[in-house]
Amino acid sequence: TVADSSFNRKVPVSLLVAAVLMLAGAGAAVALKPTHMIADDKPAMDLERIVPKAFGQWRTDDSIAPLTVDPTVQAKLDAIYSQSLQRTFINNRGERVMVSIAYGKNQNSQSTAVHRPEFCYGAQGFHVENRGLSELQLTTHSIKTVRLLADQDDRIEPITYWVTLNEDASIPGLDRKLAQLRYGLQGLIVDGMLVRVSSFARDKNSVDYSLHQEFLREMEEALPAEFKPRFFGS
């Protein structure tokens, strides 16, 4: 019987090297796949309980709801975040601040960008203008925040927001992506949240973000000590 000539052919070295690298890469991917949730090592997050309904000069106002999203976007948010909180607060001067917080136990990917105000407000038909970055001065430290201005017809909303990973407050961008990568390479699934506050302005010439600063300082002071870094960094 004549043997199949294909058995006598030598396999090119380049193919062998490529095969070895592919197998090694697959093994490394499995080995480096994050498996441990950092949130499991911390007190359980319960936004409704942790964020007080009244603090300082602020109390909950149920007459006005923060911006809601359409069902399609909401379905995406439900798949990304494990909890969310929307409340409107009013102070002694009758000024209102709307709060929206979305918390997720898995923040290792970029899919959470769906909840960023730039996209969330835009999906509702608002024109969104970037007003740059700002330092939010808290009692013990400061954090970077993003400022936006959203308008639709007669509704004009100054917006301040930031994101967190574990106990670090940041803004979307390269630094956040690198932090996500660092956690992933350590085999860790990091939790985090997006915190957004907004208010109303009479017109674009009267936009003032100082009310956000005032509100957020009082909110930070009112949170339980063990949860403050998870909202405002440390």
Give the model's confidence band at 155: pLDDT under 50 very low, under 70 low, under 90 confident, else very high: very high
Give the model's confidence band at 175: pLDDT under 50 very low, under 70 low, under 90 confident, else very high: confident
pLDDT at 82: 74
CB contact at 8 A, 155 and 199: no
Buried b / exposed e along 175-193 (16+ C-beta atoms within 10 A): ebeebbeebbeeebbbbbb
The mean pLDDT of 142-167, rounded to a whole number, is: 95
The mean pLDDT of 188-205, rounded to a whole number, is: 93
Give the model's confidence band at 119: pLDDT under 50 very low, under 70 low, under 90 confident, else very high: confident
Backbone angles phi, psi at 61, to 5 degrees: -120, 110
Beta pairing class for 188-189 and 36-37: parallel
Three-class SS of 65-114 = CCCCCCHHHHHHHHHHCCEEEEEEEECCCCCEEEEEEEEECCCCCCHHHH
Q: For residues 56 and 11, which has the higher predicted lDDT (pLDDT)?
A: 56
Torsion angle, alpha carbons of 25, 29, 32, 38, to 10: 160
Asked whether residue 24 carries a pLDDT value surpassing 70, the answer given is: no
At 74, list the tokens.
């909401």
pLDDT at 124: 87
pLDDT at 15: 58
pTM of the model: 0.80
